[in-house]
Structure 1
Amino acid sequence: MLIQTEVGRAEVVAKQLAELPGVRSAEYVTGPYDVVARVGADTPDELHRGVVTAVQRAAGITRTLTCPIAGAQQP
């Protein structure tokens, strides 16, 4: 997921997201997005209703873009 945050909140948001179930990693970055999070779940429904929704509700997030990885094996 590519995530935009409120100004100055990228590091805090990344640390907060890293603690959520289904978030495999969350790093703050520079550029048009502030945080990149790798998320996963057993089913697409669980991914959307559980993980993505939880990420989007996190304090300090202003916008997200979910980019599914096609054809990749998940560890």
Structure 2
Amino acid sequence: MTVQAYVLVQTEVGKAAEVAEAIAGIDGVTTSEDVTGPYDVIVRAQGTSMDQLGTLVVGTIQKVPGITRTLTCPVVRI
């Protein structure tokens, strides 16, 4: 089973493209794009469990230089 989530990322001013590119190279990230609006980068990530997905976000994505805040939105199948 694969667990997926969108991770909404806020960055330091002028860092969105650099952050999006750095995140795109992380294992478990399927897409990473810089956008406009209240968030600067939107990431689609996946893992084999919620724990693995949480570790990916907190232990790897949030450590990318230039990130100021993230919001993780798990994908649900209703």
Q: Same fold (TM over 0.5)?
A: yes
Q: Which residue of 2 aligns with 1:67?
A: 73
The TM-score, its normalising length taken from structure 1, stands at 0.91
- TM-score, normalised with respect to structure 2: 0.88
Structure 1 residue ranges, 4+ long, deviating more than 3 angstroms after superposition: none
Structure 1 regions of 5+ residues with no counterpart? Answer: none
Structure 2 residue ranges without an equivalent (≥5) = 1-6
Q: CA RMSD in A?
A: 1.0
% identical equivalent positions: 48
- Determine which structure has greater relative contact order: mean sequence separation of CA pairs < 8 Å that are 6+ residues apart, divided by chain length: 2
CA distance in 1, matches of 2:30, 2:62: 16
Structure with bigger strand share is: 2
Matched, 1:7 2:10: no
* CA displacement at 1:20 relative to structure 2: 0.4
